[in-house]
Structure 1
């Protein structure tokens, strides 16, 4: 059917709070060179502009829910955000953007048909998370956004099932949608009093362990080859134990929407692989 919706692009995207600091502070912390993730947002914006989506769906690795996958069904989002985690610099962030309630409700409808526990929530008092707001701010796109949660009592296969729900809902919606998996790869923080191995804070040498660095590079290479089948197979026994941010729910839902283990979308790195307080971060675009 010509009016079927489709996924027109997807990406794993870093959202770490350090990216929201002033240019001057990032340059100082980066030993004179900014995080490449900043330029990476511009490269990502160009990829999204090229496919002209009707909406962007963000799998938010910070919106932890329990018992249900949730979708933010509000029609409009406006307010001022201060992070409870790092309020000394991620504060006073103004946001004003459109939601996508029809797609949220379509996701709930498909989930009900399939016996997947998911709900669309339209509540004006629902809080926002910076894993969504940082992306909306840095991309600066005037399109509707839908945020999906990261249900913390899920195994890997539950995330894949919810992703498949999202993929079917997009097909029925008639919309052209870009998926953004907002989160890091390996996600083990350095201790509060850690000492840098490199003076440039973004340097991959500052990621929490050589094992995590090696694991992240392994996955990045599998992304490049489009071997999501290998990643999906290894996730419960290998990558979940690293662990990835949000148990990998942001990536697993995204790839679930694109066919799960059958997905062969190759990954194109849009930034360098960088450290953020010990976690492994990169922007990777997947050609669909």
Structure 2
């Protein structure tokens, strides 16, 4: 029987890649990079063989989709922010068997989940950025699941998370599950992009994010689940926060009682709220 060893909500801000490069922004996201490396270290200690990413940069308009390619390799430039991420090389192994099993379990719950082995189906940067820092030596297999779901119910995203748990029970291995997306996500106005890379767009979003992080640290998950739809709407949650709903489905939804461990403190990035937080998972 397989095991989920680690669950986390993580950042994937493209300024992490920019932070590596010489120039005025060098080192600007080192704390976020260090947080990814700490999560990687813990995964290694726990014997994780596969990292599953709920990717809020994989936009889908119909169905839930799992990239089950056995191998990923390419050179990535962000269409959205080519001045932040360009010519980033990557090469990872996939886990087709587990991906197909997750889709099957989700379908059994009435969720329109589909798994794909399509050579031209590439990874998005919600997966590529964290893997750059967590999986430099390519030790972990990678599964990417679409989490920018434009016409979907959060309830079905919860079910997909529950299906993942069922699939892992039939898998002979150990996995980590990452919700890759921001908290609030009202992107900074273009005219303020240069000066606003390290600030929130709205004070309202900052205050709500602070409260949410405090709730996570206290383990107030039943209350958070109640506010999740409105939080996503009023604070422009990235990917409509389907990654968070999926992760909560994995963790037990409103029955989860763990208290978040903050690995990288809440920080603003181009108007959005970002964090690396681990949720204890038994």
Partner of 1:259: 252
TM-score of the two chains, using structure 2 as the length reference = 0.92
Partner of 2:113: 118
Distance in 2, matches of 1:180 and 1:267, equals: 14
Q: Is the deviation greater in 15-24 or in 248-257?
A: 15-24
Relative to 1, partners in 2 of residues 1:189 and 1:267: Cα closer, same or farther, differing over 3 Å? Answer: same
Moved over 2 A (4+): 22-26, 32-35, 195-198, 237-241
Partner of 1:52: 47
SS at 1:178 equivalent = strand
Decide whether the 8 Å contact of 1:8 with 1:177 is kept in 2.
Answer: yes
**Please, which of 177, 180, 183 is the counterpart of residue 181 of structure 2?**
183
Q: How does 1:49-88 map to 2 (within 5 A)?
A: 49-88=44-83
Decide whether the 8 Å contact of 1:155 with 1:236 is kept in 2.
Answer: no
Distance in 1, matches of 2:98 and 2:66, equals: 9
Q: How does 1:88-167 map to 2 (within 5 A)?
A: 88-139=83-134, 140=136, 141-150=138-147, 151-167=149-165
Query: Unaligned 5+ residue runs, structure 2?
Result: none
What does the per-residue CA deviation read over 1:82-125, in whole Å, with 9 as the maximum and x for residues that have no partner? 11112234111111101010111101211222211101011001
Distance in 2, matches of 1:268 and 1:144, equals: 25
**Please, which of 180, 191, 194 is the counterpart of residue 193 of structure 1?**
191
Partner of 2:264: 271
Aligned length: 278
Distance in 2, matches of 1:102 and 1:266, equals: 32
Decide whether the 8 Å contact of 2:182 with 2:274 is kept in 1.
Answer: yes
Query: Unaligned 5+ residue runs, structure 1?
Result: none
- Once the two structures are TM-superposed, the CA of residue 228 in structure 1 deviates from its matched residue by 2.0
Partner of 1:215: 208
- Once the two structures are TM-superposed, the CA of residue 196 in structure 1 deviates from its matched residue by 7.5
Distance in 2, matches of 1:25 and 1:227, equals: 42
Distance in 2, matches of 1:76 and 1:58, equals: 16
What does the per-residue CA deviation read over 1:32-90, in whole Å, with 9 as the maximum and x for residues that have no partner? 86542122222222222221112110000010112211111111111111111122341
Decide whether the 8 Å contact of 2:15 with 2:29 is kept in 1.
Answer: no
Distance in 2, matches of 1:197 and 1:94, equals: 29
Partner of 2:7: 10
Relative to 1, partners in 2 of residues 1:238 and 1:182: Cα closer, same or farther, differing over 3 Å? Answer: closer
Distance in 2, matches of 1:236 and 1:229, equals: 13
Decide whether the 8 Å contact of 1:55 with 1:100 is kept in 2.
Answer: yes
- Once the two structures are TM-superposed, the CA of residue 25 in structure 1 deviates from its matched residue by 4.8
Q: Is the deviation greater in 34-43 or in 217-226?
A: 34-43
- Once the two structures are TM-superposed, the CA of residue 22 in structure 1 deviates from its matched residue by 4.4
Distance in 2, matches of 1:56 and 1:24, equals: 26
Decide whether the 8 Å contact of 2:52 with 2:176 is kept in 1.
Answer: yes
SS at 1:142 equivalent = coil
TM-score of the two chains, using structure 1 as the length reference = 0.90
Decide whether the 8 Å contact of 1:186 with 1:212 is kept in 2.
Answer: yes
SS at 1:162 equivalent = helix
Partner of 2:220: 227
Distance in 2, matches of 1:190 and 1:54, equals: 37
